[in-house]
Amino acid sequence: MAAASGMALLCVVPAHAQSIADEEIIVTAQRREQAITDVPGSVSAMGGDELAARGVDRLDDLSSAFPNVYINSENSLRTTEITVRGISSEPNNPGIDQSVGVFIDGVYQGRPTTINTSVYDLERVEVIRGPQGALYGRNTIAGAINFITQSPGQETAFDFAVSGGEYDALTLYAGADLVLSERAGLRVSVSSQEREGLTQNSFTGTDMDNVDEVGGRVAFVLDATPDFRLTLRADAATNRTNAGSLEIQDNGGFTGSPVADADPEDRSVALNVDSQQDRDVWGASIQADWSIGGGELTSLTAFREYQWWNVQDNDYTILDMLSSGIGEDQNQFSQELRYTSPTGGAFDYIVGAYYLHESLDTIAHAEIGPDLVPPYVGGADFDIFADLSVESYAVFGQGVYHFNDAWSVTGALRYSHDEKQITQSVQADPFELFGASQAPRDLSRSDDEVTPSISLNWEPTASSLLYASFSRGYKSGGYNAFSITPTDDAEFAPEFVDSYEFGYKRNAGALYFAGSIFWLDYTDLQVNQLRNVGGIPTFTTSNAASAESYGIELEARWRPSESFSLSGAYAYLDASFNDFVDATSGGADYTGNVLPQAAQHSASISADFRSPLSSGIDLVLHGDANYRSEMFFGPDNDADFSQDGYALLNARAGLDLGSWSVMAWGRNLTDETYTTYRGGGVIDPSQRLQALGAPRTWGIELRGQF
């Protein structure tokens, strides 16, 4: 995984459009357009121009782009894990919700399977750290990420990008703004990404961990009247890859045998089953905005659907012992209605209501081969079927009372009602090698929670803010869909957090600075545990732990002139289990252990330089480096399942000719070897597996706009 650039990435009005002193960072983190210095919370943003300047093509490129935020796909399309301030969720089981809510144009993405797609045609990306249980609600106990796509422009225009590089990488992008009338506009964009695999399966000859994705977006905006706007959006993407392969760090019981993997870092595996991952995603939304009473009434109606299928070799050898895969067919409908009051008076507010229906049909399939159980020459199958449905209702509101021009208080409250139902069954092979068949079981549960937030705000100047805040977050309970047995419902309760934060931010034109100190207290933490269920090692989920997370986050950007800018960030994090006894069937105690993927230190720096070479031609240079200290991949803090601290360096250089630009780019220029996952084997737990991050890559990019 090629890590992306600096952690203080800010959405600003370009320098050529206005003077540096007038620059303002605009975000919609509180569901209305605001200067970032008016938001009493930890918010970072990256604008579309910034994304292009840094060559961000995939979500992986944002892996370390923001303070105390780690986006880790583990070289897979489905299991993207987003960690904010040390808190994340296990993405592999469909019964477990996310801890970080992901929103595209305001639409909540119900499952992490959909979020690791190509990054193109975006207006900006916003990251909000800390629980967002009031305004955002559903499963935003650690934070929220907003992707805002481009809307139609005011004039007919066309832009494109072509990038080619190592491993036969080819990225194509094209976007067009079409002015249909004085009141109607259309934007169409398409993207294609291909890249050969970074890993070779020497047994089958297949390239593994490749990229093959095609996607498109359409946005239509109609200003029917001066007081009414209608926005229709639709998107689709398809993937057909061999992603998801794992290197053998330690062969365990296979050591010394002909099937042992000789080198854990040679990007070569020997498997009888190629990893395969297929995904189709599509969706549409209708947003209507009315200007009423000086404020705005917004209705957002959305439908989304995806289909997923994969297969994975689980013995990690050329033997036909075990392979598995998961199939998913998900759809969701959501409706949000909210009213945003005008600003400028003593009191402004937002009130709204939200509804979500989600349906997910899934199957976990295992193929048991004859090399594992020789008497059964034809092998055997084992299938777990689960049909899940979610109904979620909420009402919410936020108000800001201004005592005077400098002092204000912000309060918010959300009531949420979540209902979950599951029907689960098991179809075992006739020999019942991995357990017996189970008749369908119907289970249901519901949660009702109130999540408040409050902050006291002081603006000593028009472009600075000092705040102290409290907020409560909640993540709904549910069922571990693949662990239900006739005697165990595999049910878990909601998870909660109390968050306290003190922060300061200032935008002085040429210099932007933001800093925060936070403390989060998590109770009933939903954790995965490997336990013996009926004599079979099974991953279960329970509310077995409590945890706390505290630290600091610093961001700064300095732009002394239109030709040079420098940005940097530093984050310190202490995230650990307060109480985690009986973590395994053997009674292990993980109390005091560091939370998974919670690096104590992370830092970054990036620089951009532009200088005229001749009339209409500018030299453009960009460089960034980021560092992440040691982190563990499991709650046991096993040193063998950890990653030492490492730094990544990326750079871009080229010429800007106004309507055209050509850039040479390189990622991980020092060819640092690092891992995005380490864990034990399935057939042989003494095996040690790892997923390697992307090696050094380079290429050339051509962009144009007309």
- Partners of 498 in the β-ladder: 472, 521
The H-or-E segment that residue 394 falls in is strand 380-402
Between 432 and 388, whose confidence is greater?
A: 388
> Strand pairing of 199-201 and 268-269?
parallel
d(CA 219, CA 186): 6
User: 244, 207, 194: which is closest to 74 by C-alpha?
Assistant: 244
In this prediction, what percent of the chain has a pLDDT beyond 90?
74
Q: Which residues contact 431 (CB under 8 A, 6 or more apart)?
A: 373, 376, 380
User: 558, 514, 476: which is closest to 68 by C-alpha?
Assistant: 514
- Do residues 128 and 407 make contact, with C-beta atoms less than 8 angstroms apart? no
Q: How many residues in total does the chain contain?
A: 706
- Per-residue exposure over 240-257, b if at least 16 CB sit within 10 Å of its own CB, e if not: ebbbbbbbbbbbbebeee
Token pair in block for residue 505: 């931010």
Residue 414 Cα distances to 398, 418, 469, 474, angstroms: 9, 13, 16, 11
Residue 483 has what pLDDT? 86
- Per-residue exposure over 445-475, b if at least 16 CB sit within 10 Å of its own CB, e if not: bebebebebbbebebeeebebbbebebbbbb
d(CA 373, CA 368): 8
Token pair in block for residue 398: 């936020």
pLDDT in tens, 167-180: 999 999 999 999 99
Residue 537 has what pLDDT? 58
Q: Which residues contact 535 (CB under 8 A, 6 or more apart)?
A: none
The H-or-E segment that residue 548 falls in is strand 536-561
d(CA 258, CA 313): 18
Residue 536 has what pLDDT? 58
User: 576, 597, 687, 682: which is closest to 642 by C-alpha?
Assistant: 597
Q: What is the mean pLDDT of the chain?
A: 90
Ordered domains of the chain (ranges, CATH): 20-705 (2.40.170.20)
- Do residues 236 and 215 make contact, with C-beta atoms less than 8 angstroms apart? yes
In degrees rounded to 5, what are phi and psi of residue 62? -100, 15
pLDDT in tens, 394-412: 999 999 999 999 999 999 9
pLDDT in tens, 226-270: 999 999 999 999 999 999 889 999 999 999 999 999 899 999 999
Task: Give yes or no for residue 26 having a pLDDT over 80.
Answer: yes
> Strand pairing of 81-84 and 276-292?
unpaired
pLDDT in tens, 629-688: 999 999 999 999 999 999 999 999 999 999 999 999 999 999 999 999 999 998 888 999
Which residue's structure tokens are 């960690």?
83
User: 251, 248, 252, 241: which is closest to 267 by C-alpha?
Assistant: 248
DSSP state of 65: S
The H-or-E segment that residue 350 falls in is strand 347-368
pLDDT in tens, 361-405: 999 999 888 888 776 656 788 899 999 999 999 999 999 999 999
- Do residues 82 and 469 make contact, with C-beta atoms less than 8 angstroms apart? no
Residue 380 has what pLDDT? 80
Residue 551 Cα distances to 43, 289, 513, 518, 597, angstroms: 16, 40, 17, 6, 15
Token pair in block for residue 570: 């530093």
Classify residue 215 as exposed, middle or buried by CB count within 10 Å of its CB (0-12, 13-18, 19+): buried
The region, left, alpha or beta by phi > 0 then psi within -120 to 50, assigned to residue 28 is alpha
- Amino acid identity of residue 574, one-letter, is D
Task: Give yes or no for residue 691 having a pLDDT over 90.
Answer: yes
Handedness of CA 258, 264, 268, 270 (dihedral sign): positive
Task: Give yes or no for residue 1 having a pLDDT over 80.
Answer: no
Q: How many CA atoms lie within 13 A of 322 on its CB side?
A: 14
Residue 179 has what pLDDT? 96
Q: Which residues contact 51 (CB under 8 A, 6 or more apart)?
A: 119, 122, 125
Q: Which residues contact 103 (CB under 8 A, 6 or more apart)?
A: 109, 136, 144, 145, 146, 147
Lowest mean pLDDT among 78-82, 121-125, 205-209: 78-82
Residue 10 has what pLDDT? 31
* 3-state SS assignment for residue 53: helix
pLDDT in tens, 281-339: 999 999 999 999 899 999 999 999 999 999 999 999 999 999 999 999 999 999 999 99
Residue 431 has what pLDDT? 66
- Do residues 581 and 589 make contact, with C-beta atoms less than 8 angstroms apart? yes
- Per-residue exposure over 414-430, b if at least 16 CB sit within 10 Å of its own CB, e if not: bebebbbbbbbebebbe
d(CA 480, CA 657): 55
Residue 378 has what pLDDT? 64
* 3-state SS assignment for residue 494: coil
Task: Give yes or no for residue 91 having a pLDDT over 80.
Answer: no
Between 335 and 4, whose confidence is greater?
A: 335
pLDDT in tens, 557-590: 999 998 999 999 999 999 999 999 888 877 889 9
Using 50, 70 and 90 to split pLDDT, how confident is the model at 166?
very high
Residue 375 has what pLDDT? 65
Classify residue 22 as exposed, middle or buried by CB count within 10 Å of its CB (0-12, 13-18, 19+): exposed
Using 50, 70 and 90 to split pLDDT, how confident is the model at 216?
very high
Please provide the DSSP assignment of 113-147 as one string. GGT--B--SEEEEEEEES--TTTT-TT-SSEEEEE
Residue 14 has what pLDDT? 30
